[in-house]
Amino acid sequence: MKDFGYDVADYTDVDPLFGNLATFDRLLADIHARGLRVIVDYVPNHTSDQHAWFTDSRSSRTSPRRDWYVWRDPKPDGSPPNNWISVFGGSAWAWDDASGQFYLHSFLAEQPDLDWRNPEVKAAMFDVLRFWLDRGVDGFRIDVAQFVAKDPLLRDNPPNPHPERMAHMGDWSQQLHLYDHGHPDVHEIYREFRALLDSYPGDRVSIGELHHEQFEVWAGFYGQNLDEIHVPFNFHLLFSPWDATEVRCIVDAVEAALPAGAWPNWVLGNHDQRRLASRIGDGQARVAMLLLLTLRGTPTIYYGDELGLPNAEIRPDQVRDPWGLVEPGQGRDPGRSPMPWDGSPNGAFTTPDVDPWLPLAPGHETTNVALQREDPASLLSMTRRLLDLRRGHPALAEGVHRSMDGTPDGTFCFVRSIDGSEGAPAVLVALNLTGEPRRVELDPGTGRVIEGTHPDRLGVTVDTASVDLRPDEGLVIELTAR
């Protein structure tokens, strides 16, 4: 629990904090009985330093598992083998006094990196996949998927000429990460991974946590023949400024970079970032949800974002995240606060008399599930309606995407339609990413508002020659076939 589960001491068991394998099987069965699926977070790059493999590896230079991890001699001056830095700050190498070598840890020192170039490691880690697939899980989210392939020569990373573009990464932004992850050999690993998944009956999904600024490199993780990761998380919007031009460029670039037949996906929040509503404001959080749920592809919603949950305020003595302890200010705790189910003292996340692991985000008396469920104008209600809509509406479910040119600054408009099918309902999405009114002028035609950030618009007929968007407004307009 140094990194809350991302430091695995046993891949084929359950931490006693949560139960045991019998509890897991029951959970899986109960969830399946409700028509939901279960995806397990798979952490291939590193184990815990408590894992038996590592204890064994560190026990001596001649241990049979020594080369399951990345051990290297110091440089002649005693310094680490290269300049790589840990994502969580400081050198990525830790000194082991007993055996007189450094080991590599791309994250905490308590998270030593496995050496995937060792076939025994790969075999053992593929057995882990089989273990969970045999139990009936529906797939995996692959933690830091790119990290399993590093430069075999362990070359130094060059400095990053634009660290400000990666400022959210703290120390790590100081280098260009050419060598410490994402070596092209990574693709062979995920082709094998996928073949293993596909050898199981039913639908089993792979979701990869990975990012690359270059859209083509990112899209490469689908595999040239769509034979690698089903859902390479698309974090481009998550890391972009909330600006209509940037958003449009990203959407177009992602659509253009996808290999033929690949299915897009979109992410606007996760447990490693600050909260969406705090980042872009309450009004825009609604616009963002409308965008996320009308773009072509699979959306990922981070719990609480459907309520517009803000960052929790964490006092220095409340910091839990190891990253925040190593690099003050980098902690991810503000986005990991308890889900506010209702307005009671601990939001029904836990009983009122105990201290939850992190404080609740401010305002949970009004920002909570119980209240928003009853309010048709709430973000939660809008989110639910949008989810229904995209399931039932062919253009939103499967239609192609076309961004509209010539709309005013601060707006982003696109059409979703079933390609080539005359008369099939098309949908226009018109978004105002600013706090000021905007008028969008498209070709004349009529349409009906079927969803929007402001419920008073529902059902209203509009002329697309002139659509007035209020501040922070987004509309989903079903176009009348001509």
Q: How far is the CB of 329 from ligand GLC (least distance, A)?
A: 16
> Would the CA dihedral through 275, 279, 285, 288 be positive or negative?
negative
DSSP output for 450-476: EEESSGGGTT-EEETTSEEEPTT-EEE
451 binds ligand GLC per the rule CB under 6 A: no
Of 68 and 147, nearer to ligand GLC (C-beta) is: 147
Of 138 and 209, nearer to ligand GLC (C-beta) is: 209
Of 84 and 107, nearer to ligand GLC (C-beta) is: 107
CA 125/CA 9 separation, integer angstroms: 13
Select the residue interacting with ligand GLC from 115, 209, 305, 472 (CB under 6 A). 209
Sort 241 into a burial class: Cβ within 10 Å, 0-12 / 13-18 / 19+.
exposed
Residues 114-143 that bind ligand GLC (CB under 6 A): 143
272 binds ligand GLC per the rule CB under 6 A: yes
User: Hey, is 352 helix, strand or coil?
Assistant: coil
Residues 26-45 that bind ligand GLC (CB under 6 A): 43
54 binds ligand GLC per the rule CB under 6 A: no
CA 227 to chain centre: 21
472 binds ligand GLC per the rule CB under 6 A: no
Of 43 and 348, nearer to ligand GLC (C-beta) is: 43
Q: How far is the CB of 242 from ligand GLC (least distance, A)?
A: 22
435, 430, 427: which is closest to 411 by C-alpha?
Answer: 430
Q: How far is the CB of 143 from ligand GLC (least distance, A)?
A: 5
First to last CA, the chain: 60
Q: Measured at CB, which residue is nearest to ligand GLC?
A: 6
Neighbours of 280 (CB within 10 A): 18
277 binds ligand GLC per the rule CB under 6 A: no
Q: How far is the CB of 366 from ligand GLC (least distance, A)?
A: 29
Of 156 and 272, nearer to ligand GLC (C-beta) is: 272
Of 88 and 412, nearer to ligand GLC (C-beta) is: 88
Size of the site for ligand GLC (CB under 6 A): 9
Q: Which two tokens stand for residue 123?
A: 């075999």
Measuring CA to CA, how many Å separate 143 from each of 8, 45, 233, 252, 356? 12, 8, 11, 27, 26
3 binds ligand GLC per the rule CB under 6 A: yes
24 binds ligand GLC per the rule CB under 6 A: no
User: Hey, is 25 helix, strand or coil?
Assistant: helix
Strands (E), 217-341: 231-232, 265-267, 298-300
144 binds ligand GLC per the rule CB under 6 A: yes
* Strand 474-479 versus strand 446-452 pairing type: antiparallel
Q: How many helices (H) and strands (E) does the chain have?
A: 12, 17
Own/partner pairs, 465-469, CB within 8 angstroms, 24+ separation: 465/441, 466/439, 466/440, 466/441, 467/430, 467/439, 467/440, 467/441, 467/442, 468/437, 468/438, 468/439, 469/411, 469/430, 469/431, 469/432, 469/437, 469/438, 469/439, 469/440
CA 300/CA 387 separation, integer angstroms: 12
6 binds ligand GLC per the rule CB under 6 A: yes
Q: How far is the CB of 7 from ligand GLC (least distance, A)?
A: 8
Q: How far is the CB of 335 from ligand GLC (least distance, A)?
A: 11
Binding-residue pattern over the window 252 to 271 for ligand GLC, x denoting contact by CB under 6 A: -------------------x
Select the residue interacting with ligand GLC from 11, 42, 107, 179 (CB under 6 A). 107
CA 206/CA 199 separation, integer angstroms: 13
238 binds ligand GLC per the rule CB under 6 A: no
Q: How far is the CB of 292 from ligand GLC (least distance, A)?
A: 19
Of 49 and 472, nearer to ligand GLC (C-beta) is: 49
User: Hey, is 164 helix, strand or coil?
Assistant: helix
Q: How far is the CB of 337 from ligand GLC (least distance, A)?
A: 15
342 binds ligand GLC per the rule CB under 6 A: no
Which residues contact ligand GLC (rule: CB under 6 A)?
3, 6, 43, 107, 143-144, 209, 271-272
